[in-house]
Chain A
Amino acid sequence: MKQASILLDGLPVPFDAGQTIMDAALAAGIFIPHLCHHPAFKPQGSCKLCTVKANGRYVSACTLPARDGMEVENNTPDLNDKRRTLLQMLFVEGNHFCPSCEQSGNCMLQALAYELEMLSPHFDQFYPNRPVDASHPEVLLDFNRCILCELCVRASRDVDGKSVFSLSGRGINKHLIVNAESGRLADTDFDWADKAAQVCPVGVILKKRRGFAVPIGKRRYDIEPIARQVESLAARRADDMGHGD
């Protein structure tokens, strides 16, 4: 039988049964912008950066199963414009100051902003008050940068079996919490060796007493734009340790 395929920006891209549009694109080395997606975890489709147009309808590439003959638009001015607006929303919703961030150059949010040519945050800043949690001996949590992708939630629950992280609140007040009555990371069983410590695509979960081990300018997305790193994005697994180590 002929291999099933979708037409991604006019290019035939094969897929196996059960694969999503994102799975097929990653396997074929085609970049679809994304933040909350990680090949090792169950897709959740919340950041909406991977919004594509499939047979004329806007859908999330990470959650929609591919179907034979499906025509998918991905790299179009309309979609990239929408993605840029989504990035601007994420930037103003939190407190993101790239120049002083330890993750600058390793941060997917920043890398996508460069990739999609986001020149300014555009909207008025929300300046939310999100105190950092420095209680843990090894790890600092800087909630200012949280984009609510739930990767740490999924990693801690599904890989580490600890459920250290969860979300609380609703709407614009939604926020990350930790599994302790005190609300402090130090009072959880979180460990730097956890998978959850390694999956943050931005700069929330940081190792203490380690700064700028790799100089800015020589970091992952400094060297090459994120769109040209599809292979390594696709190769991320549940057991590998990232974090620019």
Chain B
Amino acid sequence: MSEESFDAERLEELLRPVVDRHGGDPLQLVQILRETQDVVGYLPTAVLTAIATALRLPRAQVEGVAGFYSFFHLTPPGRYRVLFSDNITDRMLGSGELLDRLCNKLWIERGKVSEDGLLSVDRTSCTGMCDQGPALLVNGQPLTHLSGERIDRISELIRAQVPLADWPAEYFRVDDNIRRRDSLLATEWPAGEALRAALARGAEAMLAEMKLSNLRGRGGAGFTTAVKWESARRAPCHGEEGLRYVVCNADEGEPGTFKDRVLLSSYADLVFDGMSVAGFSIGASKGLLYLRGEYAYLLPALREKLERRRRSGLLGRALCGQVAFDFEIDIHLGAGAYVCGEETALLESLEGRRGIPRIRPPFPVTAGYRGQPTVVNNVETLCKAALIAIRGGAWFAGLGTKQSTGSKLLSISGDVERPGIYEYPFGVSVEQVLQDCGAGNAQAVQVSGPSGVCLATHEFSRRIAFEDVPTAGAFMVFGTHRDMFEVARNFAHFFKHESCGFCTPCRVGTSLVANCMDKIAKGLGTQYEINQIFKIHRLLHAASHCGLGQAACNPLFDTLQKFRPAYERRLCSLDFEPAFDLDQALAAARQMTGRNDPGAHFGLAARLPGVAS
């Protein structure tokens, strides 16, 4: 669509229903941008102006929000927008070659839109399909199990401009791959079971059960859920509205994690029950599920689930016949920003702004969504809360270890025979997990994603638990044939791409370390770069605004400690070597003058007979 086609009248016609659907609320800006883009195809300047006018926001603010998220396009992205998942596990399955293959087939350069506006091909951060990769998103829809043959077929479908709806359905198949079930996955509870159990207990008693259970947050940080709930319950509401909120963090962006996808696909009622139980316990009447943009394909099914709950009295006014309890759930879609998994950045995004982590204190339990007391819990945490409502806190506390009660869902991918979801009671050893998933020759496991920890073989006896190796769920296995330097380099680029840019150390530091890693990869690295990485690691750890920056160098630090030879065999000398290569820089001049004699070369290359560059 060209810019010219947007006359004021047509714009009004396109925008009005979207803006009206959100009551003209500027806090819904991210949702409004998303839905507008769905209608228009992208977000041209005139559209941003019109949205700003309709919401009475400064235009620059609207542009600033649109410019923050990866999935918002300020220029036409092509009618087919292909995004290859760029997690290390996808790369290990050959996604790099497949991307090149598609680009070659369609005569297109990565990152550019084809001249006819038909398509663009690029990479995106992990799409959460690591157990069935390599994966990609085409116009937001996930494609799994890519192969050379599939890529060829996809290139034909795109060239023939076949609508996505007519592509083979099996391309879009997403499997649960549940390989081990424990206390959570073993039983399927009917919708509303947990909510009714909580209502029968009463809010105070429910909180007491939560305390007894000692449930800790499953998103990684491991904060005690009952403390969060109690603080939010006790915190005063502000203003006339006086509402509390429950937010379900389904922005599952940590590379290698996909457990929340499975819970939302096959246990959605348990998630909604968990949100309702939390709402009942803290006195909230509104729940918000923040779904990562990569999982937008789950939206229709989730909406339908909510509708069914509404019809059966599990949602809306006077739930389950309890006159005093109303609870509504809305789903918000993210738009491609890993940092929004941080709870205060998530709240900013929910309020229609750039996903920048807030200054704390105040914490969300006292001033969260719209400044009101807000509980933000991970998808898995809320499922566990629902279980506690049904089966009681004492039962839950009897599972797992003393400080890590209950079970944990692991998302296992990489060099294993049976990738997928494994549920274990906390305290299971890494060794045991590796045995169960068929990891024969593991040299390393990245637990809890790039921001977690990299374990080497001598650490495989350690246990998955908050008191030993805490995790948000990712469990990526690397066989002995893998290059741990390339693993770390992939993670360094991930953090560079996902840094929100708010604070100096993370914004610049993530770029600097990614550059260091690229320089080492090119064979130009020295001990100097290694020292730089350590120095920047210390700075980011100390001075970054949020956990993303603080953790950004962890994978480099870990692999430098444990897999030093993977780095050192690439170093060209132990002294400093500049990244700038004068002989390489002369290549363009050589090409223009048609020369390749020693006199057209510089340095070592000039002395070697018959060099070509």
Chain A residues engaging chain B, CB cutoff 8 angstroms: 43-49, 51, 58, 60, 63, 65, 82, 85-86, 89-90, 92-93, 123-124, 126, 148, 157, 163-174, 177-181
Whether A177 pairs with B542 at a CB distance below 8 angstroms is no
Please state if B507 and A169 are interface contacts (CB–CB under 8 Å). no
**Least Cβ–Cβ distance between A54 and chain B, in angstroms:** 12
Q: Is B585 an interface residue (CB 8 A)?
A: no
Which of chain B's residues have a CB closer than 8 A to the CB of A180?
59-60
Query: Are B498 and A171 interface neighbours, CB within 8 A?
Result: yes
Q: Which of B61, B69, B496, B500 has the most CB of A within 10 A?
A: B61
Q: Is A172 touching B508 in the complex (CB atoms < 8 A)?
A: yes
Q: A165–B61 Cα gap in the complex (Å)? A: 8
Residues of B within 8 A of A179 (CB): 58-60
The answer to whether B60 touches A172, judged by C-beta atoms less than 8 angstroms apart, is no
Whether B508 and A92, one on each chain, are in contact in the complex, defined by CB atoms closer than 8 angstroms, is: yes
**Distance in Å: Cβ of A62 to nearest Cβ of chain B:** 10
Q: Is the CB–CB distance between B501 and A48 below 8 Å?
A: no
Closest to A63 in B: B359
Give the number of residue pairs across the A-B interface with Cβ within 8 Å: 117
Contact between chains at B60 and A171 (CB < 8 Å): no
Chain B residue at smallest Cβ distance from A91? B508
Known contacts A124-B515, A172-B511; is-contact A86 B64 (Cβ 8 Å): no
Q: A65, A86, A166: which has the most chain B beta carbons within 10 Å? A: A166
**A171–B501 contact, CB under 8 A?**
yes
Q: Tell me if B46 is interfacial: C-beta within 8 Å of chain A.
A: yes
Contact B63 A177 (CB under 8 A): yes
A86→B505 contact, CB < 8 A: yes
Please indicate the chain A residues that have their CB under 8 angstroms from the CB of B499 in the complex. Answer: 170-172
Using A90-B508, A164-B60, A171-B507 as known contacts, say yes or no to A51 and B501 having CB atoms under 8 A apart: no
Contacts of A126 in B (CB 8 A): 511
Point out the residue from B64, B504, B536 that lies within 8 Å of A167, measured CB to CB. B64
- Selected from A45, A58, A89, the residue in CB contact (under 8 A) with B509 is A89
Interfacial chain B residues near A123, Cβ < 8 Å: 512
Q: What 1/0 flags go to B41-60 for Cβ under 8 Å of A?
A: 00001101100000000111
Distance (whole angstroms) from the CB of A179 to the closest CB of chain B: 4
| B61 and A166 within 8 A (CB) | yes
Contacts of B507 in A (CB 8 A): 93, 148, 171-172, 174
Residues of B near A44 (CB, < 8 A) are 359
| Closest A-B pairs by Cβ, 3 of them | A168-B67, A166-B60, A163-B58
Given contacts A164-B60, A166-B63, A168-B64, contact A46 B503 (CB under 8 A): yes
In the bound complex, do residue B67 and residue A48 qualify as a contact, i.e. CB atoms below 8 Å apart?
no
User: CA separation between A90 and B64, bound complex, in Å?
Assistant: 21
* Cα A179 to Cα B500 with chains together (Å): 21
Output the nearest chain A residue to B509 by Cβ-Cβ distance: A89
Q: Are A86 and B543 in contact (CB under 8 A)?
A: yes
CB <8 Å contact, A46 and B60: no
**A165 → chain B, closest Cβ, in Å?**
7
Contacts of A163 in B (CB 8 A): 58, 60-61
Q: Is the CB of B505 within 8 A of A172?
A: no
Quick one: closest A residue to B336, CB to CB? A170
Shortest CB–CB separation between residue B535 and chain A, in angstroms?
7
B59–A181 touching, CB < 8 Å = yes
Q: Is the CB of A171 within 8 A of B67?
A: no
Q: A167-B64, A168-B64 are in contact. Are A174 and B58 (CB under 8 A)?
A: no
Determine if B59 and A168 form an interchain contact, defined as CB atoms under 8 angstroms apart.
no
Is A169 touching B501 in the complex (CB atoms < 8 A)? Answer: yes
The 21 listed contacts between A and B (C-beta, < 8 Å) are A45-B545, A58-B542, A82-B539, A82-B543, A86-B504, A86-B505, A89-B508, A166-B58, A166-B61, A166-B63, A167-B354, A168-B60, A168-B68, A171-B496, A171-B510, A172-B508, A172-B510, A177-B67, A181-B46, A181-B48, A181-B49
Confirm or deny: B579 has a beta carbon within 8 angstroms of a beta carbon on chain A. Answer: yes
